[in-house]
Structure 1
Amino acid sequence: MTEILELEISTDKNKLQLNKIYQFLSEEAYWSKGLPRETFDKAIANSICFGAYLENGEQVAFARVVTDQATFAYLADVFVTPAQRGKGISKKLMKAIDAHPDLQGLRRFMLATADAHELYKQFGFTPLSTPDRMMERHNKTVYQTT
């Protein structure tokens, strides 16, 4: 792994490269293909957003947290750009999320992933301890157009 030495993690929404994030989420991410721009903009506005930036200002990673900042949080839309994967960026991003002052003392912090279980285990995430108590309403076709 070639680690990136200088990486800034910020929650400043003014720094977010929104078009780049939107392009990735709506065209490449398996979980949000077809995401409408209006829905994306609303999600950004109502989340704590984390961006990871190289020294030259290029945004290379993103994550957002939906939370009441008291009891519950949901980690969503986490990605590192393909050219920057394998350099420890996701771990640095997760450390920043883990340390964020508005995300301390929560009773439950959840996420969904198809392929990054090992990353999240390093930060205390586990499979559901009581899956029989958890339910979801999942509209898999919400972003599909006819």
Structure 2
Amino acid sequence: MQDAADFEFSADPARIDLDRVHTWLAVESYWATGRSRAALEAAVAASRNYGIYDGASGTQLAYARVITDGVTFAWLCDVFVDSEARGRGIGVALIEQVMATLEPLGLRRIGLTTADAHGLYERFGFRPLDQPEQWMARIAAPAHPS
């Protein structure tokens, strides 16, 4: 089993393996099923992007992106660890490094939604909303085939 020293964190968007990330999100995730490659590319271009890579092969093992104004607010999203790499602390390392890159910005709020990783995010200070009734979302209706 590899340890954390065998993995490399990067915030360089040029390193993102778009084919791999697209498969993870569009096929394997529960929140972005069916996301088009064009939508992924646009999202990547408009976000801060992060990856964890195998130190020996350079293969991307995890991905996350952050949407932010860089001053007051950020949204952490599309966090995904390859199924074969889970259980090795890669998700923890990814979130730890993402938070370290955001810390100097002094953001007032970082949001996220998750259906299954509350324990991971709680380790980094995320908590359920104190006043969820103040938050609202506009959810687009599913696209209908023509």
Normalising to structure 2: TM-score of the pair? 0.92
Please report how far the alpha carbon of residue 36 of structure 1 lies from its aligned counterpart in structure 2 after TM superposition.
Answer: 1.2
**2:10 paired residue number:** 10
Please report how far the alpha carbon of residue 103 of structure 1 lies from its aligned counterpart in structure 2 after TM superposition.
Answer: 5.8
Please report how far the alpha carbon of residue 26 of structure 1 lies from its aligned counterpart in structure 2 after TM superposition.
Answer: 0.7
- How far apart, CA to CA, are the structure 2 residues paired with 1:21 and 1:86? 19
Pairwise CA RMSD: 1.8
Contact kept, 8 Å, 1:69 with 1:102, in 2: the verdict is no
Name the amino acid aligned to 2:30: Y
**2:137 paired residue number:** 136
CA deviations 1:83-113 (Å, max 9, x no partner) are 0001000111011111105763111100000
Identity of aligned residues (%): 40
- How far apart, CA to CA, are the structure 2 residues paired with 1:109 and 1:25? 21
CA deviations 1:103-131 (Å, max 9, x no partner) are 63111100000000000000000001111
* Higher percent of residues as helix: 2
- How far apart, CA to CA, are the structure 2 residues paired with 1:82 and 1:103? 31
SS class of match (1:32): coil
SS class of match (2:63): strand
Please report how far the alpha carbon of residue 141 of structure 1 lies from its aligned counterpart in structure 2 after TM superposition.
Answer: 2.0
Most deviating of 92-101 and 59-68 = 92-101
* Structure 2 unmatched runs, 5+: none
The runs of at least 4 aligned residues of structure 1 exceeding 3 Å deviation read 1-5
**2:75 paired residue number:** 74
Using CA pairs below 8 Å that are at least 6 residues apart, which structure has the higher relative contact order?
A: 1
SS class of match (2:80): strand
Distance of aligned partners of 1:140 and 1:77 in 2 relative to their CA distance in 1, 3 Å threshold:
farther
- How far apart, CA to CA, are the structure 2 residues paired with 1:16 and 1:35? 17
Distance of aligned partners of 1:120 and 1:140 in 2 relative to their CA distance in 1, 3 Å threshold:
farther
Please report how far the alpha carbon of residue 4 of structure 1 lies from its aligned counterpart in structure 2 after TM superposition.
Answer: 4.1
- How far apart, CA to CA, are the structure 2 residues paired with 1:77 and 1:106? 20
**2:85 paired residue number:** 84
Normalising to structure 1: TM-score of the pair? 0.92
- How far apart, CA to CA, are the structure 1 residues paired with 2:141 and 2:80? 20
- How far apart, CA to CA, are the structure 1 residues paired with 2:103 and 2:49? 12
SS class of match (2:87): coil
Distance of aligned partners of 1:89 and 1:133 in 2 relative to their CA distance in 1, 3 Å threshold:
same
Q: Please tell me whether residue 47 in structure 1 is matched to residue 47 in structure 2.
A: yes
Contact kept, 8 Å, 1:73 with 1:103, in 2: the verdict is no
SS class of match (1:100): helix
